[in-house]
Amino acid sequence: MNLPNKLTIFRMLITPVFLAVFLWESLPHSFLWGAVLFAIGSATDFIDGMLARRNNQITVFGKLADPVADKMLTTAALLAFMKLGLCNIWIIMIVLIREFAVTSFRLVASAQGVVIPANVFGKLKTISQMVFTLVIMLLGELSYLNILPESFNLPLISDCLLWITAALAVLSGAVYIKKSVKLIDFSK
């Protein structure tokens, strides 16, 4: 197994650790520790793709597992935010519907030997979700340290940022499905 695929598997394995640490109620600075683990997981997404392309180590496993690992990590963060009152349930529903739809089309295409790469909007969605997640966790840590003014409304800021991600999810999903419909043979 090559290094990019090992990094993808690492991202899958770090996800439940991230979630447990982030939601550990008695852990001081859980927002900070969660941000560190999430940043490590997010960094592996960038690194595994870069290494796979640079070293010509792109594999079928990587093409299919890499986006799944991303979805695992980012969905864990959304679920944690919802539990903490920092994410509207409809944001999660929109993002998950997009993820399941795109993954379904990707699997059908793969079964037919067709590769449909992520579009620029999908990449923007993933980047925004990872960046906004880190911003929200760092703001949560600042709030925990009482550095932010009392009037600072973290749930409102969090929802606003995550609605941007939800909008990008809808846009990228629509673009991906539109392209997929032209490339997939639905009679098989």
pLDDT at 41: 96
Helix then strand then coil, in percent of the chain rounded to 5, is: 80, 0, 20
CATH code of the domain in which 128 resides: 1.20.120.1760
Q: What is the dihedral of CA 181, 57, 8, 65, to 10 degrees?
A: 30
Residue 58 lies in a domain: yes
Residue 163 lies in a domain: yes
Residue 188 lies in a domain: no
Are 63 and 115 contacting, i.e. CB atoms less than 8 angstroms apart? yes
pLDDT, tens digit, for every residue of 38-63?
Answer: 999 999 989 998 888 899 988 888 87
Residue 66 to residue 53: CA distance in whole angstroms: 13
Residue type, 170: V
Residue 145 lies in a domain: yes
Domain that holds residue 118: 3-183
Residue 102 lies in a domain: yes
Q: Among positive and negative, which fits the CA dihedral 124, 126, 129, 131?
A: negative
| pTM of this structure | 0.91
pLDDT, tens digit, for every residue of 125-144?
Answer: 989 999 999 999 999 999 99
Our count of domains for the chain comes to: 1
- Segments in the chain below pLDDT 70: none
Placement of tokens 């932010």 in the chain: 148
